[in-house]
Structure 1
């Protein structure tokens, strides 16, 4: 038997394997449900709770950054100014991570703090001197308490581990801010 005749069945088998396997794989892939979990097993979609947390936390970060800038403009108190610098730095970092998660989960986040947050800051900046500092510290304490409650709700009711990690990781930073604010009040 010649070499060509011996190789013909093997060659035919290889050609058939290469042409049939991709077609079978494409058919299997087309009928399979789209995966909602990544390689680490994390949910790749955001629940309504996750989306609400991302939006509210983002607005909170924007409001804290704006409030920090206002304190740097208006206050002459060293303690208030030190807190303001810390708020700006920490909330920028937290928000950068939040924006990354929102992008991954395809969640649209707002461009500015809420109307209520803007109005509260305007009311504080209408004051001056010592009255500004006290009002600003009260505003910051209230905002940080709300942030902690928001994170607790996300940890209890959220679905996405990425979003829950944000809530979990932001809590110590927020608690540290609260300690600084209380010490200054």
Structure 2
């Protein structure tokens, strides 16, 4: 009996703790929600720099995919063809993520590479054999160097955490492509 009297206060304390704790957590929730909302608001904001990066990087991905397809059709060099296949695969993956971010931020993306990118690829595609391979590799070196520069500019000047993460995460892939291209030159 004595044990039951000693346990009763402990039981009441436990019940009170269970009922008071959720109420205390509920009072803290608006503060946490407000902080999350503020963070989400910044993530949802796309500055002019963020929008420009998304559009240019998307055009770059489209140009790399098109260039890879041209190289697969024209080149007879096994290493150039391997690089081309990797570019197609990796830039499709990078672009899928980029499109997802652009959709979340309501940024419209162009449907084709820029006129300059199309002209450059057309000029390279007009060559044959070893000359094609060298010109194609030089085009890829320039395009990937530019892509790295774009990403660095976004990291310095961008505002959206999502877009900056995209630029940061794509840099190692682009750097790997650049090293592979330079090794073939």
Q: TM-score range, shorter-chain basis?
A: 0.7 to 0.9
Q: Residue 37 of structure 1 contacts residue 43 of structure 1 at CA under 8 Å; is this kept in 2?
A: no
May I ask how many residue pairs the two structures share in their alignment? 151
What is the 5 A alignment of 1:32-181?
37=37, 42-181=42-181
Distance 1:37 1:140, change over 3 A: farther
Q: Residue 75 of structure 1 contacts residue 129 of structure 1 at CA under 8 Å; is this kept in 2?
A: yes
Give, in whole Å, the separation in 1 of the partners of 2:37 and 2:156.
20
* RMSD over equivalenced CA pairs, Å: 1.7
Give, in whole Å, the separation in 2 of the partners of 1:183 and 1:106.
39
Write out per-residue CA displacement over residues 27-82 of structure 1, whole angstroms, 9 at most, x where no aligned residue: xxxxxxxxx95665642121000000000000000000000000000000000000
Structure 2 unmatched ranges of 5 or more: 1-35
Give, in whole Å, the separation in 1 of the partners of 2:126 and 2:83.
20
Give, in whole Å, the separation in 2 of the partners of 1:146 and 1:37.
35
> Given the two structures, how large is their TM-score scaled by the length of structure 1?
0.79
SS at 1:43 equivalent: helix
Structure 1 unmatched ranges of 5 or more: 1-35
